[in-house]
Amino acid sequence: MSPLALFRRVAIAEAVTWALLLVGMFLKYVTETTELGVRIFGMVHGVVFVAYCLTTVVVWIDQKWTFGRLALGLVSAVPPFMTVWFDRHAEKAGALDSTWRLRAEQPTGQLEKPTAWVLRNPVAGALTGLVAVGVLTAVALTVGPPAS
């Protein structure tokens, strides 16, 4: 899967989970019918939020984004639906290629070496990504879940 395709899928998933969480919040706070939507969609959104942030960092490293573009990509996960805008913005700016640079080039820095390994070993890389998302989500929940 290309950087463009992966980033787009995760950005859209993050926006969809935002929408589901907003529906859950409407049911909890406006109609006062149930808080189940916030419990379920809040967790789903949190996991996808972490996945989006990790994907953004991997793409930043591989595509040699500036720190400013990385920051904008990460910040875009906070307001609802901004990840879709950022995805389109990055593609329009030519910042999302159709190939992974580190699959062909030799990694040079401390961040590029593990990123190249993940990209060159797709199955192990996907499993590593899943474990990283799980660990980071667990750490976030240990630090403290969002107040309800």
For residue range 97-113, what is the model confidence (pLDDT) as tens digits? 999 999 999 999 999 99
Weakly modelled stretches of the chain, pLDDT under 50: none
Instruction: Note the pLDDT of residue 34.
Output: 93
Instruction: Note the pLDDT of residue 145.
Output: 67
Instruction: Note the pLDDT of residue 144.
Output: 81
| Domain boundaries along the sequence of the chain | 3-143
CB neighbour class for 92 (10 Å; exposed up to 12, middle 13-18, buried from 19)? exposed
Question: What does the H/E/C string look like for 74-103?
Answer: HHCCCCCCHHHHHHHHHHHCCCCCCCCHHH
